[in-house]
Amino acid sequence: MGVADRFNSAVRRVPAWTVYAGGAVYAGWVFFQGATGALGPNPVEAIEHAYGEAALYLLIAGLAVTPLRRFSGLNLLKFRRAIGLACFFFVAIHLLTWAVLDVQALDRVWADIVKRPYITVGMAGFVLLLPLAVTSNNLSVRKLGPKWRQLHKLAYPAAVLGAVHYLMLVKGWQLKPLVMLGLILVLLALRLPGIAKSRRTRPAAGVRSSA
């Protein structure tokens, strides 16, 4: 058995709900730390940023599933829905933290959404994720059929918007948002027909059954 096969059979024993549990525990832990002063004297900013970054990491993880399988044979497909929903969860609590604890007034929230490009861009990303979250269930997959796959490609622009939102927010030329945007663009580029097809010939053993 190759490395990929051993990895895949080990992963098969890990249930997908661990992703939800991990996300929930992390979110709770961050909030608890903020409430108890462990995140420094500006906890709202720290929580907001931690949740936003978690969402971006999960977007990157979700986008990595398909290329990983295609290029290395490592199969994490069974976690992809959970990764996507956990990502949506973090975007939602990021947004909630911003609106409730940071901006603190609905009129100012709205003013920011229409007036501040980085917030407009972030909100656009959130709106694109909404239908994906709503249709992340077996019933929707069955009902929508091939349209489901088309619909869930909205994750691509959403990921770009998320990273651009981060890049637009920071002061100065900072490395982290640039690396994140770069990773997302690379992961999307790996899906371009020319690149994706050239590696199609190499089948990954034991993959199809678990999809």
Partner 1 sequence: MAFRWKNTLTENDVTPEPLFLNRRQVIGAAAAGLALSGFGAPARAETLEPNEWDDITSYNNFYEFGTGKGDPAKYAHMLTTEPWSVTIDGMVDRPGDYAFEDIMKEMTVEERIYRFRCVERWAMVVPWNGFELADLLEMAGVQSSAKYVAFETALRPDEMPGVSRPVIEWPYVEGLRLDEAMHPLTLVATGIYGRPMPNQNGAPLRLVVPWKYGYKSIKSIVRITLTDTQPPTAWNKYSPEEYGFYSNVNPQVDHPRWSQEYETLIGQGLFAKKTPTRMFNGYEEEVASLYEGMDLVKYH
> Which tokens belong to 139?
């019933």
Stretch that binds partner 1, among 13-21, 167-175, 192-200, 201-209 (CB under 8 A): 167-175
Rounded CA-CA distance 133/72 in Å is 28
Q: Is 172 in the site for partner 1 (CB under 8 A)?
A: yes
| Residue 21 within binding range of partner 1, rule CB under 8 A | no
Which CB sits closer to partner 1, 73 or 177? 177
Residue 71 within binding range of partner 1, rule CB under 8 A: no
Contact 7, 209 (CB under 8 A): no
**Distance of closest approach, residue 45 Cβ to partner 1, in angstroms:** 8
CA separation, residue 6 to residues 12, 67, 105, 205 (Å): 10, 19, 52, 11
Chain centre distance of CA 69? 18
Which range binds partner 1 by CB under 8 A, 37-45, 54-62, 185-193, 200-208? 37-45
How open is the CA angle 132-67-137, to the nearest 5 degrees? 25
With beta carbons less than 8 A apart as the criterion, state whether 11 and 208 touch. no
Residue 202 in contact with partner 1, rule: CB under 8 A: no
Q: What are phi and psi of 105, to 5 degrees?
A: -155, 135
Considering only residues 74 through 103, tell me which ones interact with partner 1, judged by CB under 8 A: 101, 103
Closest to partner 1 by CB, 9 vs 42, is 42
Binding segment for partner 1 among 17-25, 34-42, 138-146, 190-198 (CB under 8 A)? 34-42
d(CA 76, CA 64): 9
Number of residues near partner 1 (by CB under 8 A): 29
Give the residues lining the site for partner 1 (CB under 8 A): 34-35, 37, 40-45, 47, 101, 103-105, 108, 111-112, 115-118, 168-175
